[in-house]
Structure 1
Amino acid sequence: MALFWRIFGLNALVLGTATALLLWAPVTVSVPVALAEAVVLIVGLAVMLVANAVLLRVGLAPLERVTRRMATVDLLRPGQRLSVAGHGGVPDLVRAFNDMLGRLEDERATSSARALSAQESERRRIAQELHDEVGQSMTAVLLELKRAADHTKDPALRADLQHAQETTRGSLDDVRRLARRLRPGVLEDLGLISALTTLTTDLSTHTGLAVQRRFDSDLPKLDQQAELVLYRVTQEGLTNVARHAEATEVAVSLFRDGDHLRLQICDNGRGIGLAHEGAGIRGMRERALLIGAKLELEPSPQGGVQVSLSVPLSRNGR
């Protein structure tokens, strides 16, 4: 039934019931209106309004569900659909809303894939320039400083040149580390486990966090995109721990769980609390959608946050 006829029928039912009561009930209205008659009319009007409100509430409930879902839907959490039964105006509207969500999710996934692909290409370009241009220039400066320090006879000047050498060497290490973060060459050359091991080792070295690793030895083979998503999610998760968690320990696990590959990052920090998800977590969710994975954040047994990424092997490995 169309929404118009549904509302019309509900109001017609209430008005018809009221008319029948006036026709067959021993109720009269005198002039002037007696107190008892006024009470009866007011009570009857109240009953009509309540009945009409209840019927309209029932009839328009599906629209309220659609409104609430429209206000809370998150395209980074796909599959949020409203249940629908029957045919007509309101059920057809709910079906159209569910179809619209499906199209929006597909479009969001496609646009995110294009954006992330462009982002990875730009990262590779910047990393290459840092390595080839900035890195080589700083290496040349380092050699010149060493040559000057070796030929000078002034002890004070030699000490200053050696200090400049150390500063330049530290900056060169920072540039190389930044280039590795932008373009994980070890992931392409040695595989996912070696890349994650290097990533966690660097984190422990530069932040002092105690890192525990658990990587199963019989992990299935994944395609290149799935490995890159796992690496980037781990990288972003560890960055969040180092920056915001105030943790002293973090555990990184990668293991097979039935027909899924599961990545877990657990810390013993202060937890996420009531904070809203930032750009980092939203980016992790977008990457997870690229390979049909599911990302979840929940309290960890150590009191901090546990990030879980579940990757279906049917699409991304064997």
Structure 2
Amino acid sequence: MAILAPALEPARQPTHPTVGGEALDPVRAWLARELHDGAVQRLTAMVVELEGLKRHGAQVSDLENLQASARGAVGDLRQLLYELRGEPRLVSGFAETLRLHLSEFAAATGIDADLIVHSWPEHIQAHQAANLGRIVGEALTNVRRHSAASRVTVTLQLVNAHLAVTVCDNGRGMHSGGGGFGVRGMRERASLLGGRLTLDGRPGSGTTVRCVLPLGESR
């Protein structure tokens, strides 16, 4: 299981979530993060949107958004199954996929969402793309739920052989030590990729989430 291998290396293994005071094993912890940050987030958003449609009625555009969300959830589960098979590969189109996701996010939330790409490799490793996508997705979930922001900007950059992804909003600001399972999951993902995640927030000045990780064998 090549893609899971980093999660099984003790030297890079973070503290795992616990259930009933007992630590989850690395694979179960990985599955918990994947399900929480992927299909569960999308399906939860769909439930919220459906509740709104029950009250106000549905337009064609609303149904199209729900269809896109459902397809995204299916895609998340397919990606999870692919990773469980442990078939490493290089993937392309990360920036384009992220741009589409931000467009859907803006349409669903009313929050302006921009993507800035300073430089980015054409191909990156599949597990890098999957985990960076989850980190951005969780950061956007926090923006939607907690920030009261009107704008969020995601920046992709290649800096000194490192991939850098930044999510910055203009909301109320989250304390650097704040966040629950989602923030902990983001930090664990960055650590498993050999990188580091920082969260900088000040009251009234928005929040910036930044993940930096080695380029590795991307090209």
What TM-score do the two structures reach when normalised by structure 1? 0.46
Amino acid at match of 1:115: A
Residue-by-residue CA offset, 1:37-64 (whole Å, 9 max, x unaligned):
xxxxxxxxxxxxxxxxxxxxxxxxxxxx
RMSD over aligned CA atoms reads 3.9
Displacement of 1:123 after TM fit?
9.3
Secondary structure at 2:124 match in 1 = coil
1:1-318 pair list within 5 angstroms: 103=10, 106=13, 108=15, 111-117=25-31, 120=34, 166=58, 170=62, 173-181=65-73, 183-184=75-76, 191-219=93-121, 221-273=123-175, 276-299=178-201, 303-313=205-215, 315-318=216-219
Displacement of 1:240 after TM fit?
0.6
Quickly say closer, same or farther: Cα 1:198–1:292, change in 2 above 3 A. Answer: same
Residue-by-residue CA offset, 1:180-233 (whole Å, 9 max, x unaligned):
045259x99862112101111011111111122111354253110000011111
Of structures 1 and 2, the one with the larger relative CO (CA 8 A, separation 6+) is: 2
Secondary structure at 1:307 match in 2 = strand
Amino acid at match of 2:139: G
C-alpha contact (below 8 Å) 1:123/1:183 kept by paired residues: no
Amino acid at match of 1:116: W
Residue-by-residue CA offset, 1:48-91 (whole Å, 9 max, x unaligned):
xxxxxxxxxxxxxxxxxxxxxxxxxxxxxxxxxxxxxxxxxxxx
Identify the range of structure 1 (190-199 vs 114-123) with the bigger mean alpha-carbon deviation. Answer: 114-123
- Where do 5+ consecutive residues of structure 2 fail to align? 1-8, 17-23, 44-55, 80-89
Secondary structure at 1:277 match in 2 = coil
C-alpha contact (below 8 Å) 1:123/1:182 kept by paired residues: no
Q: Quick one: percent identity of the two aligned structures? A: 28
C-alpha contact (below 8 Å) 1:212/1:252 kept by paired residues: yes
C-alpha contact (below 8 Å) 2:12/2:191 kept by paired residues: no
1-side partners of 2:190 and 2:177: how far apart? 21
What TM-score do the two structures reach when normalised by structure 2? 0.65
Amino acid at match of 2:162: H
Runs of 4+ residues deviating >4 angstroms: 102-105, 107-110, 117-126, 166-173, 187-190
C-alpha contact (below 8 Å) 1:265/1:306 kept by paired residues: yes
Quickly say closer, same or farther: Cα 1:179–1:116, change in 2 above 3 A. Answer: farther
Quickly say closer, same or farther: Cα 1:193–1:184, change in 2 above 3 A. Answer: farther
- Where do 5+ consecutive residues of structure 1 fail to align? 1-101, 131-162
Amino acid at match of 1:282: R
